Amino acid sequence: MDTGAGLMVAIVLSIIVVVIASSRFKFNPFLSLIFGCLALGLFTGMPLETLLKSITSGFGNLLASIGLIVVFGCIIGAYLEKSGGANAIAHRISKFVSQKKTLLAVTLLGATVSIPVFCDSGFILLNGITQDLAKATQNKKSVLSLGLASGLYTTHTLIPPTPGPVAAAGNLNAIDALGVIILLGILVSIPVLLVSIFLSKHLGKRIETNEIAKPKNTDTFNLPKLYKALSPLVVPIVLIAIGSILNLGHELPNWIAFICNPTIALLVGAVLAMLLLKPQTKDVKQESKDVLGKTSISKVTQDWFSYALKTAGPILIITGAGGAFGGVLKATTISAEVASWLEIGTSSSIFLLLITFGLAAILKSAQGSSTSAMIITSSILAPLLPVVGWQSSMELALAVLTIGGGAMTVSHLNDSYFWVVSQFSGIKTKDALRSYTLISGVQGLTVLTIVLILSIILI
């Protein structure tokens, strides 16, 4: 099996295989990652039996640790979207917005909604409200659209239970640190959002938008109550955070550890989300009528649950493929090789964070998917963390956030979210490249800066 420089070349070539397969040949990220696994094993001269075992065990082990978390997170997001819960949060907040605080409110709204709901869906859901607020408060629509887009994008890569951070945590064996990741993710998101607001204001004021037909509004009178809409999001985060805080230096009673476990906490959130299922709008009432003309909530339940599982499925197989890639990496001598030229200490930790950020940024910019970039980067990073002695919850959380920051950098033409932002906001492509793409790059660099500072202070 290759070692030394040959191993490093093999790893680089396998990553190139993943990027070319997904960007040039348009293969699904799952297949691209599997091809990357095979390429890495063959390039390093790994025995075929070992290669196969590494792929299957890596795939299964990662899904065993995070599979249910991803499914429950997707259920929460699907029911918030379908029930009008996300719109309920948006409409209630919009009532208390003044002209000067509109951009701040829209950005924070996007950041809140994107924790359980994918940023693509979140932008489509909230874009109509942004247009209404622009007219009502005399703000420029392009400014608010950029604020919404950057707010959604921030938490999409930094705060679980969004699949990207969860998958990265799973690859790094950091599921038990999910509470710390959430708390630090919120802390790091604050300066990122402030920078986003500043740039959205100054870049957006120069942009003229095309008129976009606004989708039909949801019946706001029949939206879920604000506390009901927030409960599937807030309760799991609070439970996980409580467990993490109480666990600092103390062994938790079994029942508290059970309730505050991320899997159980998200199951509670999923149940609360499913309680939002009532025919609350005319559209839902019509959707829930069966062939006999009677209202059938069970029919809507089946449709919404199927939608959630369809959302979770692709994420699970891509995540599992990332675990397979990590399994093959762990079967090589990468840890020993890195240990031979990387000294233990603060400087080595900072160097590893910089390399991690750069790799995630290259993968994101090359193939467009933040989630895929986070999965591949975390797979590569997993065997390296023990080399620099990173094992605590705080250290693992900083590693996940570094990967998330790199996976922001940058969103451009090969990113589906870039086109969602451009097309639904009415911002021309060239203007989106000059504004939103620039903002996404600065967001990522801001994350890196804050993480480096925290690593010096806390570790």
What DSSP line would sit under 152-179, residue for residue?
HHHHHHHSTTSHHHHHHHHHTT-GGGHH
Q: 277 pLDDT band (50/70/90 cuts)?
A: confident
Phi, psi for residue 410 in degrees, rounded to 5: -125, 160
Q: 172 pLDDT band (50/70/90 cuts)?
A: very high
What tokens appear for 283 in the block? 């559209």
- Helix (H), strand (E), coil (C) string for 244-279: HHHCCCCCCCHHHHHHCCHHHHHHHHHHHHHCCCCC
What integer is the mean pLDDT of 197-202? 95
What integer is the mean pLDDT of 228-238? 89
Mean pLDDT lowest for which of 87-91, 218-222, 274-278, 410-414? 218-222
Separation CA 223–CA 326 (nearest Å) = 44
Phi, psi for residue 392 in degrees, rounded to 5: -75, 165
The confidence score (pLDDT) of residue 282 equals: 46
Find the angle CA(369)-CA(53)-CA(9) to the nearest 5 degrees: 55
Q: From the CB of residue 176, how many other CB atoms can be counted at a distance below 10 Å?
A: 16
Q: How many helices (H) and strands (E) does the chain have?
A: 21, 0
Q: Which of 180, 112, 126, 161 is nearest to 398 (CA)?
A: 180
The confidence score (pLDDT) of residue 357 equals: 95
Separation CA 335–CA 333 (nearest Å) = 6
With tokens 């890569």, the residue in question is 157
- 166 close to 150: Cβ distance less than 8 angstroms: no
Burial class of residue 100, CB neighbours in 10 A (0-12, 13-18, 19+): exposed
Burial class of residue 24, CB neighbours in 10 A (0-12, 13-18, 19+): exposed
The confidence score (pLDDT) of residue 212 equals: 58
Q: Has residue 17 got a pLDDT over 50? A: yes
With tokens 């994420």, the residue in question is 315
- 421 close to 432: Cβ distance less than 8 angstroms: yes
Q: From the CB of residue 170, how many other CB atoms can be counted at a distance below 10 Å?
A: 30
Strands (E), 297-437: none
Separation CA 303–CA 307 (nearest Å) = 6
Q: Has residue 137 got a pLDDT over 80? A: no
Q: 54 pLDDT band (50/70/90 cuts)?
A: very high
Separation CA 380–CA 11 (nearest Å) = 9
What mean pLDDT value characterizes the chain? 84
Q: What is the DSSP code string of 106-139?
A: HHHHHHHHTTTS-HHHHHHHHHHHHHHHHHHHT-
Whole-prediction pTM value? Answer: 0.82
Separation CA 403–CA 378 (nearest Å) = 7
- Taken in order 95, 97, 99, 105, the sign of the CA dihedral is negative
The confidence score (pLDDT) of residue 408 equals: 95
Burial class of residue 13, CB neighbours in 10 A (0-12, 13-18, 19+): middle
Q: Has residue 5 got a pLDDT over 70? A: yes
Separation CA 425–CA 414 (nearest Å) = 18
What tokens appear for 204 in the block? 């957006």
When mean pLDDT is compared over 257-261, 290-294, 380-384, the highest value belongs to 257-261
DSSP summary character for residue 410:
-
What integer is the mean pLDDT of 202-214? 78
Please tell me which residue, 76 or 277, carries the higher pLDDT value.
Answer: 76
Mean pLDDT lowest for which of 108-117, 178-187, 239-248, 406-415? 239-248
Q: From the CB of residue 254, how many other CB atoms can be counted at a distance below 10 Å?
A: 8
| β-pair partners for 295 | 289
Q: Has residue 100 got a pLDDT over 90? A: no
Q: 339 pLDDT band (50/70/90 cuts)?
A: low
Q: Has residue 255 got a pLDDT over 90? A: no
What integer is the mean pLDDT of 359-363? 90
- 32 close to 366: Cβ distance less than 8 angstroms: no
What tokens appear for 321 in the block? 């493929």
- Taken in order 425, 431, 432, 437, the sign of the CA dihedral is negative
- Taken in order 63, 69, 75, 81, the sign of the CA dihedral is negative
Separation CA 371–CA 319 (nearest Å) = 9
Report domain extents, the chain. 4-458
Mean pLDDT lowest for which of 55-64, 114-123, 260-269? 114-123
Q: Which of 269, 263, 277 is nearest to 305 (CA)?
A: 277
